[in-house]
Amino acid sequence: MNLEIGRVIKSLRKKHQYTQEQLAAYLDVTAQAISRWESGACYPDIELLPKIAAFFGISLDVLFDVNTTERIARRSEIYEEIELYKMHPCEDHDFAIERARGFLSEFPSDDKIQLHLADTLWMHIWKTTPDEEKLKEAERRYQAVIGGAQNMDIKNEAVVRLASLYLDGFKHPDRASLILQNLPKIQHSREWQSAVVFFRHPEHTEKLQEYIEFSIAPLLDMLPNYIISHIPNTPDMWDKKVEMMEKIIEMAKFFFGENLLCYHFYVAEIYRLISTYRVAQKRYEETLVALENMCEHLILDEKAELGDHFSSPFTDKLSYSARNSYIDPPHNRAWTLVHFEKLAHKRYDPIRNTERFCKVVEQIERMAK
């Protein structure tokens, strides 16, 4: 144990203007015990250390007087590697899991790193036969983040991922629904309440626009899936489905303008879905047009930069920023098309050797590298 821990406790207590009696009451010990720690006569019991750190709102590293500069730099390195992993998922899932375990061993109390390990454990099912032990560990990790995270965004992310784990991993929709009850209702969200509070104040239009964005973006993602899954997939409905998807594209442009920025990828995916209906109808020219439109929007997505503004009057005060970070980077979208072989599907065989189709594939593969 660091021999200076008593000095650190005394320094923190003085800095925050707490008395020995206040700290003692929180820890359920005597003021005399605090005095002995601070004098170096003895040390706190090990089980009290997390409570002492929590009292002062610090990490155990600070309490032990570890070289915080080096620790901060190392934590930043790990965060950067986590972000890189999101952009370039590792094909070797066992290696990725062990790497994530190593990060957590360095920072056992870091919720973001624990969430990353849980995600890495959970994501293995998309490439391999689900491992029950990995799923159970992912569940425990998510539950630990939900139970202990101070950052509400991280806590809520863990809730959403755990719900997905219950639904797709364990096949328990009831448990997925139950865990989602931990999230606030939409009317309690900061976007909704900001829109309500600032509604009559034109100088705060950005608050209203943020609510518009966070209302429309999920629809752009969910409506196409609704069309696929919940509307009969019979040939007599294919034209109707394409018509509905084209209206969703119009909606995207209505709310975000032609400069869709990070939402180009939603439109790209919708055009890919349109192509699947058109090729099934043997309308090959329209299939190629849809795929070319898909590719064009992926390219525009790739070109979008942080700070660029939307061009619709509903969102023109907003820019492509960190709040869009929940959206996968362009590389991931292209990578998905290539590695999940969506364009390799036999449905495209009648046009596979055409110059236009080959050009689309070539552009997608370039972006996926």
48 SS3 class: helix
Query: Quick one: pLDDT band at residue 121, thresholds 50, 70, 90?
Result: very high
**Whether 65 contacts 8, CB under 8 Å:** yes
Mean pLDDT is highest, among 53-57, 107-111, 212-216, 355-359, for 355-359
148 vs 242, residue with greater confidence: 242
pLDDT for the residue 7: 84
Closest CA relative to residue 159, chosen from 239, 167, 8, 35: 167
Which CATH code of 1.10.600.10, 1.20.140.10, 1.10.260.40, 3.40.50.300 fits the domain covering 5-63? 1.10.260.40
18-42 exposure pattern, b = at least 16 Cβ within 10 A, e = fewer? bebeebbeebebeeebbebbbeeee
pLDDT for the residue 326: 46
Q: What is the pLDDT of residues 42-69, one digit of tens each?
A: 889 888 988 998 888 887 777 776 666 7
**Whether 141 contacts 118, CB under 8 Å:** yes
68-183: CATH topology is 1.25.40
Averaged pLDDT for residues 259-275: 93
Q: What is the pLDDT of residues 296-305, one digit of tens each?
A: 999 998 888 8
Residue 192, pLDDT > 90, answer: no
pLDDT for the residue 342: 82
**Whether 213 contacts 315, CB under 8 Å:** yes
pLDDT for the residue 325: 47
pLDDT for the residue 142: 96
DSSP readout, 52-76?
Answer: HHHHHT--HHHHTT--HHHHHHHHH
Q: Where are the domains of the chain?
A: 5-63, 68-183, 204-368
Averaged pLDDT for residues 179-205: 86
Closest CA relative to residue 124, chosen from 82, 95, 88: 95
% of the chain exceeding 70 in pLDDT: 92
Strands (E), the chain: none
Provide CB contacts within 8 A for 86, sequence distance 6+.
328, 329, 332
Q: Residue 225, Cβ neighbours under 10 Å: how many? A: 11
Q: What is the pLDDT of residues 74-105, one digit of tens each?
A: 889 999 999 888 777 777 888 999 999 999 88
Q: Report how far apart the first and last C-alpha atoms of the chain are (Å, whole number).
A: 48
DSSP readout, 116-178?
Answer: HHHHHHHHGGGTS---HHHHHHHHHHHHHHHHH-S-HHHHHHHHHHHHHIIIIIS--HHHHHH
Residue 1, pLDDT > 50, answer: no
Query: Average pLDDT over the chain, rounded to whole?
Result: 87
Q: Is the pTM of this model over 0.75?
A: no
Distance CA(11)–CA(289), nearest Å, equals 69
Q: What is the pLDDT of residues 296-351, one digit of tens each?
A: 999 998 888 888 999 999 999 998 875 554 455 555 566 666 555 788 899 999 99
Query: What's the Cα-to-Cα distance from 316 to each of 194, 201, 257, rounded to whole Å?
Result: 17, 17, 9
Residue 244, pLDDT > 60, answer: yes
Closest CA relative to residue 260, chosen from 204, 206, 191, 316: 316
Q: What is the DSSP letter of 16?
A: T
Q: What is the pLDDT of residues 230-242, one digit of tens each?
A: 999 999 999 999 9
Residue 191, pLDDT > 90, answer: no
Query: Quick one: pLDDT band at residue 136, thresholds 50, 70, 90?
Result: very high
